[in-house]
Amino acid sequence: MLLSLRSRIHETFVRWALRVRPPEMAPIVLVQRRVYVLPTRAGLAYAAALGVILLGAMNYNLSLGHALVFLLAGLGIVAILHTFRNLVMLSISPGRCTPVFADDLAQFNLVLENQRPDARTSLRLFVADEDPVEVDIAPSAKTIAPIKVAARRRGWLPIPRITIETTWPLGLVRAWSYAVPDLNCLVYPKPAAKAPPLPWQGESARGSTRDGRGTDDFSGLRAHQVADPPRHVAWKAVARQQDGPLLTKLFSGATTQELWLDWDALPNSMDSEQRLSVLTRWMLDADSAGLAWGLRLPSIRLEPDNGPAQLAAGLRAMALYGNGAQ
């Protein structure tokens, strides 16, 4: 009950502290009213120690004691100013985020820009309870802060709220702020660990590769790929070698039929996420084998092709399937 109340109070404060409705347009500048300062535990202990010294100096009428208290208090006030200046007017812009598969870590790259002629030291950025990323920024320079977030499900993953803080130089006070950059990461479906063999449909479907090879004439051997049909394995060549690697026969000719990865070819017992997972595995296997393939989903049809662009288009289509944004 108490934790729930504290969480609600904290979220209410964060919404007020952001000052704008997230996500925020770039660049995000941490102006003075967005930076907050509170003493750390070390700062509270420092203030308590000053209070004890002051009471002792007053009790025994020690002028040097008073001078020590005023000196240390002035040092604390200067530390507050420098801690605040270490964070204020920092500029944050969204960088790049490479697509990942579900259950992997998405890395959001944030561009931090320091427009001041003095360096910014020991800035920490973190999401929720994750380990912070500590960065230093040289005078009038930029740096990249990688924020890693667990990608739990496919689709667009927006970057969570970022907390930026610093306790430099003395650790007596903590200055912090919040930011929600407009940055999203595309999360592909997780490839199935175990999937049925590629759905070959007849002899002609087995012949197309990135090099345009067909199934008419034998043209050589290459290393075996997981997606290669078992009947194309050069068993005689393998038998002549002791503990040798599997080899696959290559054919050349005019036959260049494509492989179709079809949603409806999967068993009805599979739900949507399982089908997408199997299709992702098929897609990766077909691409690694150099096969030309096409994709059929209930609302999407991707014409047969091969190469990085084809793979990226297919993975994107499955990542966004059912989300209304193809």
Residue type, 319: A
CATH architecture of 14-188: Sandwich (2.60)
- pLDDT-derived band at 202, boundaries 50, 70, 90: very low
Q: Concatenated DSSP letters for 115-173?
A: -SSS-EEEEEEE-TTSPPEEEEE-TTEEEEEEEEEE--SSEEEE---EEEEE-TTTSSE
Q: Output the pTM of the full model.
A: 0.77
Phi, psi of 166 (to 5 degrees): -155, 145
pLDDT, position 5: 76
Q: Is 109 helix (H, G, I), strand (E, B) or coil?
A: strand
Residue with the two structure tokens 């063999």: 197
Give the model confidence (pLDDT) of 131-169 as tens digits: 899 999 999 999 999 999 999 999 999 999 999 999 999
Q: Is 306 helix (H, G, I), strand (E, B) or coil?
A: coil
Residue type, 141: A
Please answer whether residues 89 and 130 qualify as being in contact, where contact means their C-beta atoms are separated by less than 8 angstroms. Answer: no
Arithmetic mean of pLDDT over the chain: 84
pLDDT, position 204: 39
Give the model confidence (pLDDT) of 274-312 as tens digits: 999 999 999 998 888 788 899 999 888 999 888 999 999
Give the model confidence (pLDDT) of 204-242 as tens digits: 344 444 444 444 555 555 566 665 667 667 666 566 556
The Cβ of residue 161 has, within 10 Å, a number of other Cβ atoms equal to 17
Phi, psi of 84 (to 5 degrees): -65, -45
What is the spatial distance between Cα 164 and Cα 255, in angstroms, rounded to a whole number? 59
Q: Is 260 helix (H, G, I), strand (E, B) or coil?
A: strand
pLDDT, position 10: 72
Cis peptide before 191 (omega within 30 of 0): no
Pairing assessment for the beta strands 173-179 and 141-150 based on DSSP bridges: unpaired
Residue 89 confidence (pLDDT) above 90: yes
Six-digit token pair at 47?
A: 């203030």
The Cβ of residue 241 has, within 10 Å, a number of other Cβ atoms equal to 10
pLDDT, position 300: 87
Domain with CATH 2.60.40.10 in the chain: 14-188
User: For 254-260, what is the mean pLDDT?
Assistant: 60
What is the spatial distance between Cα 301 and Cα 185, in angstroms, rounded to a whole number? 24
Six-digit token pair at 169?
A: 């130089």
Please answer whether residues 162 and 148 qualify as being in contact, where contact means their C-beta atoms are separated by less than 8 angstroms. Answer: no
Helix or strand run (H / E) with residue 18: helix 2-18
Percentage of the chain beyond pLDDT 70 is 80
